[in-house]
Amino acid sequence: MSGVPFRIALVGHSNVGKTSLVSALARDATLEVREEAGTTRGHYETVLSIDGTEVLSFIDTPGFETADAINRRLDELGGTGADALDGRASLEAFVADAATDEAFAPEKEALRGVLKADVLVYVVDVTRPPGGQQRQELRLLRRAGVPPMAVLNLLFEGDDREAWRELLRREQVFNIVPLDAMEFPATQEASFYDELAKLRPEYEDDVQQVRRLRSVRGAAAAEEAARRIAEGFVDLLAFRLVRSFDTRDDALAARAGANEEFKQRLRDRERLMFEAIAAAYGFPDTKVAGEVLDVAGSSGDFVADLFDPEALQRYGASMATSVAAGAITGSLLDSVGGMGIGTALGAVGGGLVGHFVGRRITVDVDAKGTLSIPSLSPVRYPPVLVNRAGTVWRLFATRSHARRDDVALAPGDLAVGAGALTKLRRLASKCGKNPRWSTMDPEPERGAARARVVDDVAEIVRRSLRLEEDP
């Protein structure tokens, strides 16, 4: 590590996804990205530091749009004969020439970034074939005398990557890697860093440091996510709603409202948990669609109502077990009667039993006018909550920071092992007996016993969902 960061300028035509790539590489989801030319106005550096030392810097630049005109201008500036400027000198002269500031403002900003860089990464949008301006851009960049590589962005089946490879080779760019900013698979990112190190071997240590940093930060984010899930788990399963009224009649009248309030507070707490997971992975502004509870409907993509029986069933809650048990019983009847209807009846019956027996959201009103809603069922809800949170975790852990759309929470297939589930249910039961462990309680209690439960839940979550591994 030399103390001077390894500077990588991302350059290319306007609107090819340079900022998206910087977002993905730097794990920064806050950079402005739009489907519009000229979104990036200046050249911006995003520096990665390790222990306070700047190791690597990504220079995001405005896109080129009129490279042909600049090349013509540079040819004029360069002159001929003994006084002729070399490529880099002519670029510097062009950047310094105030007369052309207005006409070429974005390009000049880009070239300032180019002149600072140790490596140029020419970003290619393979959704369309290369054109004349792109050839001009490569010609222009060659003048800087900075080693170039190319990144093929926005890959899809039927894209123009082969035409691009041909052009790039013809223009003497031989280090070419596919790196899709939106999908951003780890293997492509690794290849990208390999190529960088090949181009500038003197920075290989820095590149390796960054790769290690990625791994360390990934583990830290996973640990943070596990703790946030555990905190949410305890809060949600310990929460009990109690309201006192002057008369029993008042309490009875408030039942429906209290039920709704109870549900809403749980939903709000769950949303906070999702936001915390998102923040742990560097997505502070990303919304989780489907987290908005009461989005009901069996055919929609966002069926995520915590209290929707179908959602519960899909998340592997106890009702599914009941359905299966009922169906098995029914099939025994079928084997005797050969009717086929026994299985169906059994499944329906089992499902109903599971639905009603497992249901614990009841509103009790005592003779003194105290209304209470007990905490969630420790049998039904632990797998529901962990699966939902685990699904959200996986979505964020694998998400490119270039993406700006909402995360869609769809029923996941994450399965918690039987052993882990038993432990979670036991811990949930403890939470239910200690309503003040919930931070939603008016007088929350954050003692050592609660901390131990949080630790235990975090450990189970970490292991059962394998959060410590880079997905």
Q: In the complex, which residues of this chain contact another protein (CB under 8 A)?
A: 13-16, 34-37, 63, 65-69, 125, 127-128, 131-133, 135-136, 154-156, 158-159, 180, 182-183, 405
Nearest approach in angstroms of CB 79 to another protein is: 22
* Cα Dmax for the chain: 104
**Helices and strands in the chain, H and E counts:** 16, 11
CA–CA dist 43, 22 (Å, integer): 12
Of 68 and 456, which has the nearer Cβ to another protein? 68
Nearest approach, Cβ of residue 32 and another protein (Å)? 13
**Based on the number of CB atoms within 10 Å of its own CB, is 87 exposed (0-12), middle (13-18) or buried (19 or more)?**
middle
* Count of CA atoms in the C-beta half-sphere (13 A) of 73: 20
**Distance between CA atoms of residues 52 and 268, nearest Å:** 37
Shortest distance (Å) from residue 106 CB to another protein: 9
Minimum distance from residue 43 beta carbon to another protein (Å): 18
Cα 257 → chain centroid: 35
Strands 53-60 and 6-12, how do they pair?
Answer: parallel
Minimum CB separation of residue 69 from another protein in Å reads: 8
Q: Given the complex with another protein, which of 16 and 384 has the nearer CB atom?
A: 16
Instruction: Provide the minimum distance between the beta carbon of 400 and another protein in the complex, in angstroms, as a whole number.
Output: 11
Cβ closer to another protein: 45 or 183?
183
Looking up tokens 């949303």 gives 271
Q: How is residue 153 annotated by DSSP?
A: E
d(CA 218, CA 339): 55
Which CB sits closer to another protein, 118 or 159? 159
Residue 176 is inside which H or E element, if any?
strand 176-178
* Residue 399: CB minimum distance to another protein, A: 14
**Start-to-end CA span in the chain (Å):** 29
**Cα 67 to Cα 78: distance, rounded to the nearest angstrom:** 16
- β-strand partners of 11: 122
Instruction: Report the alpha-carbon distance of residue 173 to residue 395 in Å, rounded.
Output: 35
Q: CA angle 348-353-359, nearest 5°?
A: 125
Quote the tokens at residue 103.
Answer: 């006409």
Q: Which is nearer to another protein, 69 or 254 (CB)?
A: 69
Rounded Cα distance between 452 and 446, Å, is 10
3 vs 132 by CB, closer to another protein: 132
- Report, in Å, the least distance between residue 217 CB and another protein: 26
Q: Which is nearer to another protein, 14 or 313 (CB)?
A: 14
Crossing angle between the packed helical segments 255-280 and 204-238, to the nearest 10 degrees: 170
Identify which of residues 388 and 401 has a Cβ nearer to another protein in the complex: 401
Collapse the DSSP code of 54 into the 3-class scheme (helix H, G, I; strand E, B; otherwise coil) and give the result. Answer: strand
Q: CA–CA separation, 66 vs 71, rounded Å?
A: 9
Minimum distance of another protein from residue 147's CB (angstroms): 25
How far is the C-alpha of 441 from the C-alpha of 241, rounded, in Å?
8
Least separation in angstroms between residue 31's CB and another protein is 16
* Residue placing its CB nearer to another protein in the complex, 133 or 329: 133
Q: Quote the least distance from Cβ 68 to another protein, whole Å.
A: 4
* Residue 275: CB minimum distance to another protein, A: 23
- Beta-sheet pairing, 119-125 with 241-244: unpaired
Instruction: Look up residue 281 and give its two tokens.
Output: 């992975």
All residues at 6 or more sequence positions from 157 whose CB lies less than 8 Å from its CB, including other chains: none
Burial class (CB in 10 A: 0-12, 13-18, 19+), 459: middle
Q: Closer to another protein at the Cβ: 69 or 115?
A: 69
Q: Which of 162/260 has CB closer to another protein? A: 162
Nearer to another protein, 188 or 434 (CB): 188
